[in-house]
Amino acid sequence: MEPRPGDSAAGVVAEVHRNGETWRGRAGDVLTGRHISPRAHFSIGSVTKTMEAVILLQLSAEGRVDLDESVQHYLPGLLPEDRFKEPISVRQLLDHTSGLPQDLEGAPATTPDEEIEQRLDYVTFDEVIRKTLRPEGRPGPGPHFSPGTRQEYNSFGYRIAGKLIEEITGHSYQYEAATRILRPLNMRDTRPTFPNRATPVPKERTTYGEVDRSGERSTSKVISLGAKTRKGGPQKPVPRLV
């Protein structure tokens, strides 16, 4: 297995399950030729959207959030009223019909070197929401279309969904994901990122400890989820990517 010419990936690792059989493949680093471990960990990126949706559906089943109530109701003042005059429902955040702008829309494009330098940066929900809706030095973006009239894949809506989870529960997104999804499903190889801390590189057969309600670690080995822009959130090894 080889990366395609021109790809910016450092390497490739894949796993395929079919008819009870498993195939694993990997490709070396295109620059150094170094082999990628079949147990390599990586950011699972937008797989975290599924987790956010599950948490909000659970909160809806618990009667703590109404999927058809507006973002403006739950998070007043978050969307600038002069640009976002129509209500956007929680459901529309989840099904990509909100019409919201994209993450950091209108910001100067980053270079490949900047992407590499910033790849492990931790970006909070508040920070990406502020930099998208109220950027410094340029006008803030408005809606792409009237909510509910079209469907357009949108990551920014899930930044707001993450913020909403924290607002409703009073807990960090890391805590809610750990207690509601990762721990019950025994997803021991999924680990979180935390602000001002190095991203952990899990070892094989690692275990995770407790995550308190603020998202802080009570042991050195925990699960990892975070609001990461462009660079994804949790890290998972291929065997556990389901």
How many whole angstroms separate alpha carbon 238 and alpha carbon 241? 5
Q: What letters, b where the CB count within 10 A reaches 16 and e where it falls short, cover 136-163?
A: eeeebbebeeebbeeeeebbbbbbbbbb
Locus of tokens 């910033």: 118
Amino acid making up residue 209: G
On the 0-12 / 13-18 / 19+ scale of CB atoms within 10 A, 28 is middle
- Residues serving a catalytic function are 46
Asked if 56 and 177 touch (Cβ cutoff 8 Å), the reply is no
- Kindly write down the DSSP assignment for every residue of 44-80, as one continuous string: -TTHHHHHHHHHHHHHHHTTS--TTSBHHHHSTTSS-
Q: What letters, b where the CB count within 10 A reaches 16 and e where it falls short, cover 198-211?
A: ebbebeeeeebeeb
